[in-house]
Structure 1
Amino acid sequence: MTDPPAPPHASSSSNSQVLSTSPPPTRPTRQRIPNPKYFGDPFVNSTTRHPIPTPLEPVSVKQALADPRWKAVMEDEIAALQRNTTWTLVPQQAQQPITCKWLFRIKRNADGSVARFKARLVARGFMQQPGKDYFETFSPVTKPATVRVILSIALSQNWPLRQMDVNNAFLHGTLSEEVYITQPPGFNSPNQ
């Protein structure tokens, strides 16, 4: 008797047949592989897309005043507010004043290096009560549709376009009402 022909991918031995087929290639469906484009090299745990920024932004006025760079920009902000006669120091009134706080930001260049330190003094206006502290609200903000119309007219008429920025633009408006705020933290004048 002769042995039957061996199926494909099979090896014949003297007494038995062993198939040497490999399973078809499969792709895991639940496994996520990070895209190096967004996460850096997935095999290096210490790399991130954005390294931890140094120096860090202060979280309190005390920390900011301890650093001469932050103290200088805080003094510049106070000087700009005084130069624009934003406020006048008066004895504390019976009316509840609005508190204010400092915001600190580090402005960076495109390569991540420090461009400048920025400190802004902001009034905490959310503490005001409608009908008691103010009676109407108005915000002079341009709608995006208006900007698009102006740009389309300028382009159709071949008018030259320029971009500009006004430093401390919000300080150039005038208020008809009296508004009381507390003195800036870290820059208090006694008896006022």
Structure 2
Amino acid sequence: MISYYLSLSNVSSLVTLVIRRDMGIIVPSSMNKALSHSSSRSMVTEEMQALELNATWQLVLHPSSKSGVGCKWVYIVKVGPDGFMDRLKVHLVAQGFTHMYGEDYFETFSPIAKITSFRFFSVLVVQFSWPLYWLDVKNAFLYRDLQEEAYME
């Protein structure tokens, strides 16, 4: 099977889009298009429930003295190890690029694994013949309260 020789993670986003299009995977380009399909609708509902369950926000009036951050729905096709669509993921993301460091926020934190750590772990897996499993976390949140007030529109 071709997925043993080709991984979409090593291909540019433009080429990946063409490959996925040829595989029949359509990524919604707007909320209206996403909501026209029942599977996409259920994904949006699932994301909203996860955000509410984790108490991600509170509905409040937006003070005129504070600038608000816009938001956008992002649709991601998760491809399985066989190279075919595993599922569609939907995320509500804040457009934080509109905020100014030192004015709207004072610190950023985004933990990620370094590629050297991943390579080291891969060597251990091969060296000790450990089984390797595929894992996909549906909703991961960093449990830390914001120190600043942030408003999303």
Pair in the same fold by TM > 0.5: yes
1:74 matched to 2:44: yes
Instruction: Please report the RMSD computed on the Cα atoms of aligned residues, expressed in angstroms.
Output: 3.2
**What's 2:15 paired with?**
none
**What's 2:77 paired with?**
106
Change in 2 beyond 3 A, CA 1:90/1:161: farther
1:125 matched to 2:63: no
| 2:79 aligned partner, one-letter code | R
Distance in 2 (alpha carbons) for counterparts of 1:162 and 1:174:
34
Change in 2 beyond 3 A, CA 1:171/1:82: farther
Higher alpha-carbon Rg: 1
- Count of residue correspondences: 129
Q: How does 1:119-158 map to 2 (within 5 A)?
A: 119-144=90-115, 147=117
Distance in 1 (alpha carbons) for counterparts of 2:145 and 2:98:
21
Change in 2 beyond 3 A, CA 1:72/1:92: same
Which of the numbers 62, 76, 88 marks the counterpart of 2:58? 88
Contact kept in structure 1, 2:27 and 2:76, CA below 8 Å:
yes
| 1:85 aligned partner, one-letter code | A
Which of the numbers 42, 59, 68 marks the counterpart of 2:29? 59
Query: TM-score under structure 1 normalisation?
Result: 0.55
Deviation at 1:136, TM superposition (A): 2.7
Query: Unpaired segments of 5 or more residues in structure 1?
Result: 1-37, 39-48, 183-192
Contact kept in structure 1, 2:104 and 2:148, CA below 8 Å:
no
Q: How does 1:159-174 map to 2 (within 5 A)?
A: 166-174=137-145
Secondary structure, aligned partner of 1:122:
strand
Query: Unpaired segments of 5 or more residues in structure 2?
Result: 1-5, 7-17
Contact kept in structure 2, 1:107 and 1:116, CA below 8 Å:
yes
Distance in 2 (alpha carbons) for counterparts of 1:165 and 1:70:
18
What per-residue deviation string (whole Å, max 9, x for no partner) do you get for residues 114-161 of structure 1? 32111111111111112211123333334455x37x85xx89xx9x99
Change in 2 beyond 3 A, CA 1:107/1:162: closer
Change in 2 beyond 3 A, CA 1:111/1:138: closer
**What's 1:46 paired with?**
none
Contact kept in structure 2, 1:86 and 1:171, CA below 8 Å:
no
| 2:110 aligned partner, one-letter code | S
